[in-house]
């Protein structure tokens, strides 16, 4: 093992949880870590939230572990997703035994289109009163996502996947998305079921076990996965992967948590679980499973950070995870 992993702590608790995740990676593998900078602090210093050097380093690496950025989050994360050529954002949202959740039976994975929709949207100020945004949907990006989804469903042993959309209103664009995704799945022999994104929001609260893998356009995936985070007890436990053809970026779904930043009490679980997804991506599936098992075991009966009702610090939790990896 000697892959190059770029490490971007970013702002706030990124500076606390990313080092925790790196120590876990060091414990299970032999990687070259390259530090890089992005976020509010860099912008204050240099005028740029995402220096070109960071972009290039990320683009050339095997994988990147990113923490969080503050006000500049969109200026950092959207170009970085592009830098790794990410076409899908993989967002598992599951509850853990021992962690308070409004829906403890939740175990979902969102596969979010990661390049277009309103995110690639060109905006115009057409008059003092009127602005527009051009939302973009292509068959090619939708198909690529669907191909990934079919493989993913197979690896997960899922029965198929749901396609969430709003094609009853966005008939042409979300219609194109839906048709492309369903066509690929049919060709691959994978079952799909459609669900309107508003109906999904209601139904997932009533009974999340109705769903398993959910394929969504970009903004739908953003909102619906954050909704699922609410059902499992918050963003503190959710990892994510921005996957491209041969590069990827991993990040906890949470932000910089300015209220607790610097206090050493941030929950490192989401960052460590993101590191596990990184291990999967690099082909170290066994190490990834070990890390997930260690985190799960600590969540069940190990030390807890204040967000989970405990009074342990980031280091206590990290040490406990490392111990169970021994």
Binding site for ligand IPM (CB under 6 A): 73-74, 77-78, 168-169, 198, 222
Environment class of 129 (CB within 10 Å of its CB; exposed 0-12, middle 13-18, buried 19+): exposed
| Residue 6 C-beta: closest distance to ligand IPM, Å | 18
User: Nearer Cβ to its own copies, position 156 or 171?
Assistant: 171
Residue 137 binding result from its own copies, ligand IPM, none, given CB thresholds of 5 to 8 Å by partner type: its own copies
Residue 296 tokens read as: 């799960």
User: Nearer Cβ to its own copies, position 30 or 128?
Assistant: 128
- In angstroms, the CA 110 to CA 325 distance is 28
Residue 181 in contact with residue 128, Cβ under 8 Å? no
End-to-end CA distance of the chain: 19
Among candidate residues 86, 62, 83, 80, the one with its CA nearest the CA of residue 245: 86
Residue 220 in contact with residue 89, Cβ under 8 Å? no
Q: DSSP secondary-structure letter at 29?
A: -
- Identify the bridge partners of residue 37 per DSSP, sorted by sequence position: none
Residue 59 binding result from its own copies, ligand IPM, none, given CB thresholds of 5 to 8 Å by partner type: none
User: Nearer Cβ to its own copies, position 60 or 105?
Assistant: 105
Residue 234 binding result from ligand IPM, its own copies, none, given CB thresholds of 5 to 8 Å by partner type: its own copies
| Residue 283 C-beta: closest distance to its own copies, Å | 32
User: What are the Cα distances from residue 301, in Å, to 265, 298, 310?
Assistant: 18, 5, 11
Residue 77 binding result from ligand IPM, its own copies, none, given CB thresholds of 5 to 8 Å by partner type: ligand IPM
| Residue 118 C-beta: closest distance to its own copies, Å | 6
| Residue 288 C-beta: closest distance to ligand IPM, Å | 21
State the angle between helix axes of 173-188 and 139-156 in degrees (0 to 180), rounded to the nearest 10.
40
| Residue 170 C-beta: closest distance to ligand IPM, Å | 10
Catalytic residues: 119, 166, 198, 222, 226
User: Nearer Cβ to ligand IPM, position 13 or 77?
Assistant: 77
User: Nearer Cβ to ligand IPM, position 255 or 306?
Assistant: 255
| Residue 280 C-beta: closest distance to ligand IPM, Å | 19
User: Nearer Cβ to ligand IPM, position 191 or 198?
Assistant: 198
- The DSSP annotation for 286-322 comes to HHHHHHHHHHHHHHHHS---GGGT----HHHHHHHHH
Only one residue has tokens 């790196």, namely 22
Residue 230 binding result from its own copies, ligand IPM, none, given CB thresholds of 5 to 8 Å by partner type: its own copies
Residues forming the site for its own copies (CB under 8 A): 73-74, 78, 102-103, 118-119, 121, 123-125, 128-140, 166, 168-173, 175-176, 197-199, 201-206, 219, 222-224, 226-227, 229-231, 233-235
Residue 235 binding result from ligand IPM, its own copies, none, given CB thresholds of 5 to 8 Å by partner type: its own copies
Among candidate residues 85, 71, 82, 4, the one with its CA nearest the CA of residue 38: 71
- In angstroms, the CA 138 to CA 3 distance is 33
């Amino acid at each position: 093992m000697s892959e190059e992993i770029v490490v971007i702590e970013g702002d706030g608790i990124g500076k606390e949880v990313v080092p925790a995740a790196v120590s876990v990676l060091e414990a299970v593998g032999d990687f070259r870590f390259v530090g890089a900078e992005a976020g509010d602090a860099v912008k204050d210093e240099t005028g740029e939230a995402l220096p070109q050097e960071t972009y290039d380093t990320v683009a050339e690496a095997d994988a990147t572990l990113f923490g969080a950025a503050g006000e500049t989050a969109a200026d950092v994360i959207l170009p970085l997703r592009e830098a790794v050529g990410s076409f899908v954002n993989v967002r598992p949202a599951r509850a853990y035994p021992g962690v308070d959740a409004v829906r403890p039976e939740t175990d979902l994975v969102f596969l979010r289109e990661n390049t277009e929709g309103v995110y690639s949207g060109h905006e115009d100020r057409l008059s003092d009163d009127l602005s527009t945004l051009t939302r973009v949907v292509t068959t090619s990006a939708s198909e690529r996502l669907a191909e990934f989804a079919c493989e993913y469903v197979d690896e997960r042993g899922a029965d198929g996947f749901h396609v969430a959309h709003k094609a009853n209103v966005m008939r042409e664009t979300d219609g194109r998305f839906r048709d492309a995704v369903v066509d690929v799945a049919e060709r691959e022999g994978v079952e799909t079921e459609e669900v309107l994104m508003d109906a999904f929001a209601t139904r997932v609260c009533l009974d999340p076990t109705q769903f398993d893998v959910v394929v969504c356009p970009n903004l739908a995936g953003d909102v619906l996965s954050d909704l699922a985070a609410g059902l499992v007890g918050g963003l503190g436990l959710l990892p994510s992967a921005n996957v491209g053809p041969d590069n990827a970026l991993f990040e906890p779904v949470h932000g910089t948590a300015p209220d607790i930043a610097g206090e050493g009490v941030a929950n490192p679980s989401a960052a460590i679980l993101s590191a596990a997804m990184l291990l999967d991506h690099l082909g170290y599936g066994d190490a990834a499973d070990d890390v997930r098992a260690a985190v799960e075991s600590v969540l069940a009966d190990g030390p807890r950070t204040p967000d989970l009702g405990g009074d342990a610090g980031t280091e206590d939790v990290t040490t406990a995870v490392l111990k169970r990896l021994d």
